[in-house]
Structure 1
Amino acid sequence: MSSAPRAKAALPYAALPYYEQTAPGTGCLPPRTGYARTDAARLPLSGGWRFRLAPRADAHDDSFADPAYDSGDWDRIEVPGHWVLQGHGAPAYTNTPYPFPLDPPRVPDENPTGDHLRVFTLPADWPAGGESVLRFEGVDSCARVWLNGVELGEFKGSRLPHEFAVGGLLRTGRNVLAVRVHQWSAGSYLEDQDQWWLPGIFREVNLWHRPDGTAADHFVHASWDHERDEGTLRVESTVPGRVRVPELGLDLATGESATLPVEPWSAESPRLYAGELATGGERVGLRVGFRTVAVEGGLLKANGRRVLFRGVNRHEFHPETGRALDHETMRADLLLMKRHNINAVRTSHYPPHPAFLDLCDELGLWVIDECDLETHGFHAVGWRGNPVTEERWTPALLDRIARTVERDKNHPSVIVWSLGNECGTGAGLSAMADWARRRDPGRPLHYEGDRSCADTDLYSRMYADHEEVGRIGRGEDRDGPPARAELPFLLCEYGHAMGNGPGGLAEYQRLFETYPRCQGGFVWEWIDHGLADPRFGFAYGGDFGEVLHDGNFVCDGLVLPDRTPSPGLDDYKRVIAPVRIEAGESTGTVRIRNLHDVLDLGHLTFSWAYEAEGEELSGGRLEVPPLEPGEQAEVKLPPAPGTPRPGGESYWTVRAVLSEPADWAPRGHEIAWGQVQDTARRSPAPATGTAPRSADGGLLLGPGVLDARTGELVSVGGVPVRGPRVEVWRAPTDNDNGAPWLPETELARRWRALGLDRMRHRVDAVESADGAVVVRGRLAPDASDLALATELRWTSDGERLTVAVRVTPEGEWRLPLPRLGLGLALPRTMGGVRWFGAGPGESYPDTGGGARLGRWQREVDALQTRYVRPQENGARAGVRWAELTDGDRALRITGDPEFWFTARRWSTAELDAARHLTDLVPGDSVWVNLDHGQHGIGSASCGPGVLPAHRLRVARARFAFTFEVLRG
């Protein structure tokens, strides 16, 4: 009898296939700095490759690597690229769960494997002598490589470069490069980052010539002494050579130091000096930025000054090409960041494309460079088997930190190394920290997952609420080791930007500015990872048939997938603006505060405009002294120009703009703004004096017709109307839905359980008395004795129509309301909108810092924010009046007090039911909400909820709206 086949799990480690071994790879050259500006020859191998996909790692033998192999019937794909985004297989999204069994280092037999072939011609003028190196910038997740039929080796570490020496294998003329890529490998256990699983050769492949006498590696050390205003330059090189910086008159040997007066590099003033490293066989361009980073006195300092991070976390993503980004997209990202006052990036959760760091050097951003390491999914089994705790994984961990540091060490923008993200703690992590400190003692270390901070120089947290951040800032956090209390504190993730939001950013910023130890943070994250898909608009987890997925949690960015800035980005820009413009203590003055880390205000021009009812009456330049960082001044505003219109609201708007063009924005680009009130708004007079009368089953009241049975408005001034009715429901935001792992944050679930999404209306009385029509009723959920008693009192002066609303709670309400106001529907032709209030973008009680008081005009379609998963959006706050028009007539609605205004081509119920943008189909109506109150937004999709000051508590309410139809 034959014995049963041996179980796969019983294989000894040495018998495991290479893709299941914990070792980082074989055959690769040692890590070094790369992407150098060199005069050595380079042959790009990007473009069309032959491709074949198999469902298993062992579906095909290695014969395809033979140069004579006929691949004529294979498909073609683009490299860089992901095969699942080019018609082969499908992407999948998980946040933390591994999409395969936890059995490290083993992976399933179902292991999509892509064979890639690239035939290239070696140029006739390819240099002789020296060495040639084949360099892969990024392959997900494990690659085995052959050149001209000879195996070079294999490697893991998806977001890291790997090189092979190939000089002896190159042939004149035709050459064949074969690469087998496995989606799953032992390396996948180290790459459980919150993102799409996207296999493939997604960064460039290049053949480099390395001449005799070339420097295999070099390390630029450029420090700056803030006390002496001097920089010191020393360049290490594996091959001796000369270092020249013409602008500084430097010509020194490698290994030698020179100290001299220079301008320092910082995110606000990214001064770079062009240089050159010349060895016997090569000239390498250098871009030297002098700066020193240190933790001193409990603060993280750059060039002797405290750093305040106004940052974002950034995954690499494009809605069509995934993590394969071109240079133009990277530059566009950074220009958007700089133009929105962002000064720092955490490269979550892996080193970015090296060109991105080049751009950070040029344009000026502080960078926390994170190693390609996350093992978050092990939390599902109590962290049993977590690689950072097991010695067999330590070589792979050390390989990853070495490849990160060696590749990126010459970028002045990189001021902190991060060991990884959400991978627990263990000896492997400590080994990484020890290696990084020995190799590069000039940069502090970051890692959030260890509350003891044993391996880090910074105390880092995710999503700590405002109260905790305040305690930390005041030194009241006594739950950790004493040494931790002496470290700088930052929020490496906060302000979860999922859907509508995040809220509460301004309150965080005040804490950062109040407590020196609290050195800012990084909003999660930069971009929504919605994949372009005609079925959905943008697709998210589960849209490709995944059984295990995390839905739209992958869409949590400050910009939409197509890089349209969300209102959250505009809010963040205002919150983190490096200039604060506020009303002064004296009437007619403005207080200017310089919140820059380095720059004075000499690079900005200030202007003022005096506005009444949203119309500018006069304006000019405002003289502001060139305040140093941290300084402030109270500046007298010009006098008001005469008498504002009767009853009008008037105010000054003060702006700070660039005086000269920058590398990242044109002259006149706005950095900050503020508004100072002059005369306050007067409460609008209600329309009264005309008595109602009955006619044809309706009630006529001035320009209005009301239904005599329901009391609802039928038309006003000839414009058909349905409603209004008192409403409380909104289509829940992602932050309303909260986080499943924190049930207390799931506010929308509790709203639905109470029945706020299906409130019942009842009309108790429609009465005509004292020159008014009074409609009394009740709004209540099923299966509850909670209710809102309502009274709508309609009056008119013959031309205008006013409804005064009273709302009285009944019962003991324990939840806030989503919103409180009136809802009505107008004909679809009423698609033009004008309003006087906050704008031009949306805003809610704890968002909308980027919206300013003014007079605005948009079409209804343009009022929508097209969040990947449809939800409450588009409210304009502080609206005094709004007009909806069909071009011939306009329905003006004036509020007392100011109100939130929304207008959509679908109802709240339709918005609530939609799961994708393509579910929203315009109907025959424009649905209008006139809200007296809105619940705040918060950040509870992964963070704290709405602060108490922004919750819409159930209480008595009184508000009014006046309707008037204008012609022409």
Structure 2
Amino acid sequence: MSLRTRTVDHTRTVDHVEDVSPGSGALPPRAWYASSDAGSLSLNGTWRFRLSPTADAEDDSFAAPAYDAGDWAEISVPGHWVLQGHGSPVYTNHRYPFPVDPPRVPTENPTGDHLRVFDLPADWPTAADGRARLRFDGVESCARVWLNGTDLGDFKGSRLPHEFPVGPLLRAAGNVLAVRVHQWSAGSYLEDQDQWWLPGIFRDVTLLHRPAGGVVDFFVHASYDHTAGEGTLRVDSDVAGRVTVPELGIDIATGEPATAPVAPWSAESPRLYDGVLATGGERVPLRIGFRTVELSNGLIEINGRPVLFKGVNRHEWHPERGRALDLDTMRRDVLLMKRHNINAVRTSHYPPHPAFLDLCDTYGLWVIDECDLETHGFTEQGWRDNPVDDDRWTPALLDRAARMVERDKNHPSVVVWSLGNEAGTGRGLTAMAGWIRARDTSRPIHYEGDRDCRDTDVYSRMYAGHAEVERIGRGLDGGPRRRRALPFLLCEYAHAMGNGPGGLAEYQRLFEAHGRLQGGFVWEWIDHGITHPGLGHAYGGDFGEELHDGNFVCDGLLFPDRRPSPGLAEYKKVIEPVALTVSPSRERSRRPGTHPRDTVRVTNRYDFTDLSALAFTWAYEAEGGTVRSGTLPVPALAPGESAEVELPAVPAGDSAGEAHWTVRAVLASGTAWAPPGHVVAWGQAPVSPRRVPYVAATARPAHGDGLVALGPGVFDARTGAPRTIGGVALTGLRLDVWRATTDNDDGAAWQSDPRHGPLWRGLGLHRMRHRLDAVEAGGDALTVRTRVAPAGGELGLSAVYRWTSDGDRLRLTVSTAPEGHWTVPLPRLGIRFGLSGADRVRWYGGGPGEAYPDTRSASAVGRWESTVDDMQTPYVRPQENGARIDVRWAELGGLRVEGDPVFLLTARRWTTEQLDAAAHRTDLVPGDTVWVNLDHGQHGIGSQSCGPGPLPRYHLRAEPAEFSFVFSPHPGTHLA
């Protein structure tokens, strides 16, 4: 090992910033391991910091040991300086936030100088052997490093490790570590991922002692033969030594294979064996998982079985610390994934912190490990000058591939290597694939941009619609012969931006129906909102960026504070590993008055494990309340097996009203990732039908003082609008067709492309006007005839409100019909009104969380209760939210409302117009009125903020409709 020992010369050279090479002075990459008995010193903590507006604004005299940085600021490392009060973050999806002129970057290049003075611990081994290493696990985007005045070198590759030999330079005390970090560099052209641009030393900095005879690099090969039930272990090491695995009785020399009966590692059963690699100078702990990945029969098979990936894309994110994640946050992510039935992660679009992969090994997640590479911005110029097709950049690409593979090669959780993301095509990618295959034959290679699969082993797509995915599953997609012989993955689908994603259940049915479809990865795991004192969570444009992509950075299944969104609850239900299908007995209709046994079909959808770790419970529920419950004996079905299990007989007296069976699969005992009783899967089915509310029209309208009284209702005689029902004041009851557009609504073709017809807003659906045509009070009804239409066009809706009463209750029947030529769906169709004094809401129907026509899988029929405030879903950009679906009745603000048919319920303390106008949640100011929507229907949600829209069956077409609501006083829910 040699050192570059250029002493500080006070020059201002910045040539390395625009050099396409990966850097200079760093040691070759090697395997990462958390600890050994050789000793290490963390240099994380408080560092001195100075920010300059340009790369050459300051010379490098600050790196001299005698430099006085007492007046510099202090920041935390790991961390990003723009999140610690120095400059501002920038968000772009794919456009470079600087002129595209590779490899050059602007002179206006924020540059952060970092200083850390440290002493060696008293027990630090002697430095005379010169084998200590200084390790950086992640610096964005380009760094130059000095130790005690000596220039160690520079590097690029922000999310990759770099080590420098420093042994002879170390002192017992007063060591000065200086690091200059540039925000922009030639490397930035290779790091155009959809995320915030956040410069800084954002991963760990560590000093590693390397003893004589210590391990330089090692490769654990731990395969599994499923036919023999045996694992074969071989550990290759640059330094000779011995490998022991006491539990397996293995004691072998490095490079020597050993075979033993083992339990294999899988994401479902992540069995790890503790071992030790011992050399003449060091003992390195090993965590060995035996598993084999291979392409067989056109599929990715692991341990001899094809697997179905139920995955997420995961950017590293924390709302206050950005990509500087701590171990507890990473563990929290993994536990949330496991508890929501997620079994796979694509590390979009760079290798994660190495500790995250340790967690995946421990708890069990399949990992597609993706290289730190994306050149998406070159799509703006037709991929001209794209670095991956320019031989000058190939050494940098190979360096990035090597640093990923060498660091992560010993993780059993890593089952696929990915070359990168959205970087076009070119010779550099081919070179990367060739290098990886030469180094590691045990894993397939992925890259979505390689549509012909010349360099890859997986046919991968993003955001393909359901119909296309089905064609691929059926083998009707055509294309090159090699591609047609490969497994298919949706590496990104179901764009989880704002309210959504919709259509998950339909995708999953396709994955399960066609073997070639090996699943997909939802985009993405977490919203990248930044904690902001005035906005709650900030997104693109909130920091004054000239070029930005707004809230497109908030597209996750978790909110920025890591609270699960309704989308995550939906995904958990859709991908649950046990299918529970409840079926009423076929004999019921043939044997009136009897109660034959209903059944539940239990199907094991795990890839490897049986159902012995699960317990099953049943509940018989009438009108949403549990009547009886118990446990259900289910055999320990093997993967893919099914069984019909009888449910208990229910006496006739227990079936009054609408009834449901609910069956749950729960953890019988606690696991490393969840406590006993955690619900893994559930199924529900009706046993008896719902009683439709009936109101006999016996009351007659009575006139007086400009009012009309009908049963418990008082109406304005001129407008026909209800003033009070049972003494409860109502405001502004009328037909409503508008919703505050979701991110997915705003991505719809008819919203953004006039070729598809008029836009929702272009049609004026957000500002409908209501024309009163007639008020007729006579006979047994009060009838109000209106037309609802926007200004500027011929489109409209006729609406007739017919009120009847039996003296105690009011029934409102709404009849609507479209007028004019409608070419787009309606956002919603129902009624809206305001209540004062409403706080708690009780309802019988779908819950507990929000649901829409194509996001309803996780909605269970039951009796639920909430506050109005808790019914709101806190999307970072406010939009339509909080609807409860399939509601039979609801009680709030002193009223009870029953629907015919069932309806969607929304209640909030601001109007739809206020919600629609809000850019952040802090823009929403609660008012004294609670605005209630009772919707006959809503348009589906879809995924079209970046993917396909709702399937046609979820379109709310403008067509004649009729629906009714029954209102009655309910004092128990009235709050003054």
TM-score normalised per structure 2: 0.96
Report deviation, 1:471: 0.4
Aligned pairs for 1:689-838 within 5 A: 689-738=698-747, 743-744=752-753, 750-827=759-836, 829-838=837-846
Q: Deviations over 1:416-455 (max 9, x none)?
A: 0000000011111000000000100000000000111111
Q: Deviations over 1:44-101 (max 9, x none)?
A: 1000000000000000001000010000100000000000000000001000000011
Q: Deviations over 1:497-535 (max 9, x none)?
A: 000000000000000000000000000000000000011
Q: Deviations over 1:229-256 (max 9, x none)?
A: 1100000111011101011011111100
Report deviation, 1:852: 0.4
- Tell me the SS of whatever aligns to 1:705: strand
Equivalent position amino acid for 1:864 in 2: Q
Tell me if 1:613 matches 2:611. Answer: no
Aligned pairs for 1:401-440 within 5 A: 401-440=401-440
Distance 1:746 1:173, change over 3 A: farther
Match of 1:79 in 2: 77
- Separation in 2, partners of 1:465, 1:660: 40
- Tell me the SS of whatever aligns to 1:122: coil
Distance 1:108 1:425, change over 3 A: same
Aligned pairs for 1:902-941 within 5 A: 902-941=906-945
**Alignment check: 8 A CA contact 2:745 2:751 kept:** no
- Separation in 1, partners of 2:720, 2:651: 47
Distance 1:741 1:823, change over 3 A: closer
Q: Deviations over 1:838-859 (max 9, x none)?
A: 0000000000311100000000
Match of 1:897 in 2: 901
- Separation in 2, partners of 1:580, 1:226: 26
Report deviation, 1:747: 9.0
Equivalent position amino acid for 2:817 in 1: T
- Tell me the SS of whatever aligns to 2:132: strand
- Separation in 2, partners of 1:635, 1:234: 46
Tell me if 1:127 matches 2:122. Answer: no
**Alignment check: 8 A CA contact 1:568 1:848 kept:** no
- Return the match for 2:854 from 846, 859, 862: 846
- Separation in 2, partners of 1:263, 1:714: 71
Match of 1:599 in 2: 609
**Alignment check: 8 A CA contact 2:748 2:944 kept:** yes
Distance 1:748 1:814, change over 3 A: closer
Aligned pairs for 1:542-581 within 5 A: 542-581=541-580
**Alignment check: 8 A CA contact 1:339 1:664 kept:** yes
- Tell me the SS of whatever aligns to 1:155: strand
**Alignment check: 8 A CA contact 1:738 1:745 kept:** no
Root-mean-square deviation over aligned CA pairs = 1.4
- Tell me the SS of whatever aligns to 2:221: strand
**Alignment check: 8 A CA contact 1:803 1:961 kept:** yes
Tell me if 1:47 matches 2:45. Answer: yes
- Tell me the SS of whatever aligns to 1:880: strand
Report deviation, 1:786: 1.7
Aligned pairs for 1:186-585 within 5 A: 186-478=186-478, 480-584=479-583
- Tell me the SS of whatever aligns to 1:210: coil
- Separation in 2, partners of 1:666, 1:745: 53
Distance 1:831 1:804, change over 3 A: same
Report deviation, 1:645: 6.5
Does 771-780 or 134-143 show the bigger shift? 771-780
- Separation in 1, partners of 2:111, 2:971: 67
**Alignment check: 8 A CA contact 1:226 1:303 kept:** yes
Match of 2:9 in 1: none
**Alignment check: 8 A CA contact 2:417 2:445 kept:** yes
Report deviation, 1:783: 1.9
- Tell me the SS of whatever aligns to 1:392: helix
Match of 1:165 in 2: 165
Report deviation, 1:967: 2.6
Q: Deviations over 1:179-216 (max 9, x none)?
A: 00000000000000000000000001000000000110
- Return the match for 2:881 from 873, 879, 901: 873
Does 702-711 or 684-693 show the bigger shift? 684-693
Report deviation, 1:763: 1.1
**Alignment check: 8 A CA contact 2:90 2:198 kept:** yes
Equivalent position amino acid for 2:572 in 1: K
- Tell me the SS of whatever aligns to 2:224: strand
**Alignment check: 8 A CA contact 2:746 2:752 kept:** no
Q: Deviations over 1:303-358 (max 9, x none)?
A: 01011000000000000000000000000011000000000000000000000000
- Return the match for 1:665 from 666, 674, 679: 674
Match of 2:864 in 1: 856
- Tell me the SS of whatever aligns to 1:37: coil
Q: Deviations over 1:773-832 (max 9, x none)?
A: 0011111122222221111111111111110111112222111000000000000x2111
- Separation in 1, partners of 2:886, 2:686: 14
Equivalent position amino acid for 1:439 in 2: R
Distance 1:794 1:585, change over 3 A: closer
- Separation in 1, partners of 2:691, 2:633: 32
Distance 1:320 1:40, change over 3 A: same
Distance 1:748 1:880, change over 3 A: farther
- Tell me the SS of whatever aligns to 2:119: strand
Q: Deviations over 1:618-649 (max 9, x none)?
A: 01011111111111112111122432465x11
- Separation in 1, partners of 2:439, 2:645: 51
**Alignment check: 8 A CA contact 1:603 1:658 kept:** yes
Paired residues in the alignment total: 948
**Alignment check: 8 A CA contact 1:618 1:641 kept:** no
**Alignment check: 8 A CA contact 1:111 1:182 kept:** yes
- Tell me the SS of whatever aligns to 2:53: strand
Equivalent position amino acid for 1:699 in 2: V
- Tell me the SS of whatever aligns to 2:922: helix
Equivalent position amino acid for 2:635 in 1: P
- Separation in 1, partners of 2:91, 2:36: 39
Q: Deviations over 1:138-168 (max 9, x none)?
A: 0000000000000000000000000000000
Distance 1:387 1:742, change over 3 A: farther
Report deviation, 1:696: 1.6
TM-score normalised per structure 1: 0.97
Match of 1:680 in 2: 689
Does 156-165 or 789-798 show the bigger shift? 789-798
Equivalent position amino acid for 1:512 in 2: F
- Separation in 2, partners of 1:311, 1:576: 9
Report deviation, 1:745: 10
- Separation in 2, partners of 1:346, 1:631: 29
Match of 1:25 in 2: 23
Aligned pairs for 1:50-199 within 5 A: 50-128=48-126, 129-130=128-129, 131-199=131-199
Which runs of 5 or more structure 2 residues have no equivalent in the other structure?
Answer: 1-12, 587-597
Q: Deviations over 1:108-157 (max 9, x none)?
A: 00000000000001122210144100000000000000000000000000
- Separation in 2, partners of 1:76, 1:21: 30
Equivalent position amino acid for 2:292 in 1: T
Match of 1:951 in 2: 955
- Separation in 1, partners of 2:277, 2:945: 50
- Tell me the SS of whatever aligns to 1:110: coil
Does 336-345 or 779-788 show the bigger shift? 779-788
**Alignment check: 8 A CA contact 2:750 2:756 kept:** no
- Separation in 1, partners of 2:436, 2:755: 41
Report deviation, 1:583: 2.5
Match of 1:5 in 2: none
Residue identity over aligned pairs, in percent, reads 67
